[in-house]
Amino acid sequence: MTLVGRSPDARNERSEPIEFTPELLEKMRAIGLRLDRGGTFWHEGTAVTHPRLRQALLRWLDVRDDGRDIIRLDPKRYAYVDVEDAHLRARSAHWSGDRIVVLWDDDREDELDYGSLCQAPDNALYATVRGKLRGRIAGIAYHAIAERIAEAGAGFALEAAGRAWPIPQSSASGDGVSARTPR
């Protein structure tokens, strides 16, 4: 489907049609947005410092079916984002009975996806968040979860949700860590 827009002519009030081909739309989606390991968004080399814009960008993070990271407004409107490490970082975690709830830096809480948990070479934990996003668990969230990590055979397991969840070591860190399946 080709969309047509109008481009105003500076010399008069007439406007010339612009054809929004799939190729042009694809090019327009590359906006120079990057999310670094610490959770700072950068747009063409400048940090995004407005707190509410940052929160909105975090909430709009998504992954296309082909694995490409995006900021999604709706099914047709999205832009590409380069994600240096994980989409989200755990700010805290707390136990509710035998289940762990993680507060991510997009201000949403989710029960940990236990089956996706893995450990990176730097000892940080990674898990899948909301089915598609990579979440990095370090700092105080890591320590809350670690309360119930025990040795299991040659490795470690998390005792949660009524069973022991093995925590495999990942050979990659950051970009390649995701629910035990590299991107």
Which pLDDT tens digit goes with each residue over 145-157? 999 999 999 999 9
Looking from the CA of 1 toward its CB, the CA atoms found within 13 Å total 2
Residues 98 and 169 in one domain: yes
Residues 94 and 73 in one domain: no
CA distance 61 to 91: 17
CA distance 6 to 15: 6
Q: Which residue, 86, 88, 98, 100, is CA-closest to 144?
A: 100
Residue 49 included in any domain: yes
Per-residue pLDDT, averaged over 56-81, amounts to 95
Instruction: Encode pLDDT of 97-116 as tens digits.
Output: 999 999 999 999 999 999 99
Domain span at residue 96 reads 88-173
Residue 152 included in any domain: yes
Asked if 118 contacts 167 with a C-beta cutoff of 8 angstroms, the reply is yes
Domain stop point among 54, 83, 112: 83
Residue 145 included in any domain: yes
Domain stop point among 83, 105, 130: 83
Residues 95 and 125 in one domain: yes
49: Cβ–Cβ under 8 A, 6 or more apart, which residues? none
Residue 181 included in any domain: no
